[in-house]
Amino acid sequence: MLEFVTLTPKALNDYRPVIGDELVDEIRDLAAPLANARVLHVNATPFGGGVAEILSTLVPLMSDLGLQAEWRVIVGPERFYDATKALHNSLQGMAVDWTSEMQESWLEVNRENAEQLKKGYDFVVIHDPQPAAMLSTLRSDGAERVDGKWVWRCHIDLTEAQPATWDLMRPYVNRFDGAIFTSADYVQSGLDDPRVFIVPPAIDPLSPKNVDMPDSERRAILERFDVDPDRPLIAQISRFDPWKDPLGVIEAYRRVKLHVKGLQLVLIASMAHDDPEGWEWYERCVRRAGEDFDIHVLSNLHGVGNVEVNAFQRSDVLVQKSIREGFGLVVSEGLWKERPVVAGNVGGIPLQLVQGETGYLVGTIEECAERVEELLADPALAAQMGAAGREFVRERFLITRLLADYVKIFRLLSGIETPPVAEIGA
């Protein structure tokens, strides 16, 4: 229960060449009053999604600031992940038959994991719906089992949440001292108790996925997966699920290929154990690809890790055709690599993508195909957008900014005066 995640140490000073000495020193000064504070992050998986990627850098950087930070993962049987996937989908707008059996499985696993939690944390950050009932379980068993400040961090797009599902979640979220959302549009009604903060996610520019890569290495990786580095290439790197619309990406590719000879498409996902839908959608993509050998459907199980994703995110055009998206780190990842992005005009994507300057926001398969074709036909425009995108991400969506935001929130919840962080109702 509550499995501990072992992490590689990271040093904030390594980011000085990226963000400058002044910002690094500012973050260290902000964190100084929190020295030795115990911080726990809890989520549902140690790999395979944006939350895990963020925590793999955020937690070590918190430790480097002098906090005692750790990361643990809630653990349950298969029925728990089936239930929480349904909960996740319903909060994103899908009509789901949420049964009493699902609710009991969710609560039972939260209860069992909460019982493993030791006292003594100054801050506990609970990520997303899967472990959101842990705090309520502890407080219902007795306040003496709870100490420190608790924050619920919601990474998903709640704008179309099913009302009944939010009614289920609300009392559990109201137990927290703070709640963090990616966008003010995601904040739902009835949050009376927690302080509400608006904090977008961020990428790690020094991770193996995002560091600069020689073109010779990129070419070698593409060739290893039978992708021709000399022919046009578009890619979508995302989980295989309905919200990412991979089948729509395949359709858009086929429309573009009518006019762009030799076009190739790569779809890549990391198969996470908390995502039981992943295999179903992987198989749908393979079936839709059929005998078009220019469509490559890959995952971590094919040997595609962070370094390989780095190479594929240097394709001619990146696509993220989401129909729901809490944020979509892959958009910032692509922009950081100076590639133009064509993405769904939903959720947190418009926060990252400036229409006509760093890429294009689209709403349909037809629009997606038109914009991809336009960028493939005009390499100078694509390069211009890519360069603008890298600077846009440097200013707004690097992990060091996210680190500073968490430090500010911890200071606020501790009653320490702090520079402003976006807060609703402040």
Q: What is the average pLDDT across 132-144?
A: 80
Q: What is the average pLDDT across 377-398?
A: 97
Instruction: Out of 88-97, 249-258, 416-425, pick the least confident.
Output: 416-425
Instruction: Out of 232-241, 363-372, 377-386, pick the least confident.
Output: 232-241
Mean pLDDT across the chain: 94
Cβ atoms of 41 and 69 closer than 8 Å: yes
Residue 141 has pLDDT above 80, yes or no: no
Strands 233-237 and 68-73, bridge-based pairing: unpaired
Alpha carbon distances (Å) from 248 to 49, 155, 267, 363: 21, 24, 12, 11
Q: What pLDDT is stored for residue 311 in this prediction?
A: 98
- Where residue 272 falls among pLDDT bands split at 50, 70, 90? low
For a pLDDT cut of 90, what percent of the chain falls above it? 85
- Beta-bridge mates of residue 181: 198
Stretch (H or E) spanning 152: strand 149-153
Q: What pLDDT is stored for residue 343 in this prediction?
A: 98
Q: What is the pLDDT of residues 353-367, one digit of tens each?
A: 999 999 999 999 999
All domains in the chain, ordered by first residue: 3-202+399-424 (3.40.50.2000), 215-396 (3.40.50.2000)
Instruction: Tell me the one-letter amino acid at 201.
Output: P
Strands 38-43 and 123-127, bridge-based pairing: parallel
Instruction: Please name which of 270, 303, 267, 311 lies closest in space to residue 286, comparing C-alpha atoms.
Output: 267
Q: What is the average pLDDT across 155-168?
A: 94
Instruction: Give residues with Cβ within 8 angstroms of 370, minimum separation 6.
Output: none
Q: What pLDDT is stored for residue 287 in this prediction?
A: 93
Number of neighbours of residue 392 by Cβ within 10 angstroms: 18
Q: What is the average pLDDT across 208-227?
A: 97
- Where residue 273 falls among pLDDT bands split at 50, 70, 90? low
Q: What is the average pLDDT across 373-385?
A: 98
Q: What is the pLDDT of residues 142-151, one digit of tens each?
A: 555 688 999 9
Residue 249 has pLDDT above 90, yes or no: yes
The reported pTM is 0.92
Tell the residue number behind the tokens 């793999």, with chain if given: 56
Cβ atoms of 65 and 12 closer than 8 Å: yes
